[in-house]
Structure 1
Amino acid sequence: MTQDLAPGQLLARGVCRHLLQHGFVGIEEVVPAPGLRVDVMALGPKGEIWIVECKSSRDDYVSDRKWQNYLEWADRFFWAVGPDFPTDLLPPDTGLIIADGYGAEILRMGPESKLAGARRKVITQKFARHAALRLRAFRDPGVTASGICP
């Protein structure tokens, strides 16, 4: 199954595995707002929201023009990259995770920027709905994010 995953998806899997050790549950490919899709969104034991963007190469990072729009949807923001990634490219005021398909390590904690209560409620509900639809799709392959396929 590993060979079916793209490099960024492998990083996301390792990140999600690692975040479980910190009490966070992660889901992949969440849309916090129209036009945005984060690689990993994680919900912590106290309701914290972390966003992790997975970059598999220098070109993948350089072509990302939306990451700053993700900051307003999380309490903390991180980059997740492989061990050979040139980390000096990444902004020093963001979190840093080194990952592979099996695990990860947080090298630098992203600065905390607490979400406003109303924003937290919206994003937590989106997280819950996304997770529920993903689980439902495992049981019923006819279910998609927008409902039931015709």
Structure 2
Amino acid sequence: MFGKDDLLTDAQLHELLKDNGYTLAVLKGDQVVFHSQERGLKPLYQLYRQQPELLRDSVIADKVTGKAAAVLAVLGGAKEVYSDLISEHAFQVLKFGGVKTRYRGKAPYIINRTKTGMCPMETLVMDAASPEEGAARLIEFFEGLKEKQNGTEKNERH
């Protein structure tokens, strides 16, 4: 795909996302090992939970990176994150987690899809004291969502 010894430029990573309609791409060396066109955190979360080895020592190209995605990148062992748009909170998590970070634009926070406030995933992990605490919140959220979708949510009334 790219030259073996080439460090992918910001422009190349941006074009990889744009030209293929990807919202997320994970690269190992010069090969894309995972990609998604799905919006939101779910694809990265599923990768973190189901195929974490793909994140270790990877380059993550992400269209929009909030703090929740940064938490997963740090704990997944990514070596680098490129983002078209990153939140200041995500940038700080990646910086302190030792993950090289490149971006086209930075915002104070990621807004929700209706543009009425902060992204709910960013809100969920905003005050987490550590990436581990943030990941625990994300796991609880997604597992609860899965239970609701499967109709297995426990009825609290007896």
Identify, as 1 or 2, the structure richer in helix: 2
By relative contact order (CA 8 Å, sep 6+), the higher-ranking structure is 1
Report the TM-score range of the alignment, normalised by the length of the smaller protein.
Answer: 0.3 to 0.5
Whose radius of gyration is greater, 1 or 2?
2
More strand by share: 1
Give TM-score, length-normalised by structure 1: 0.33
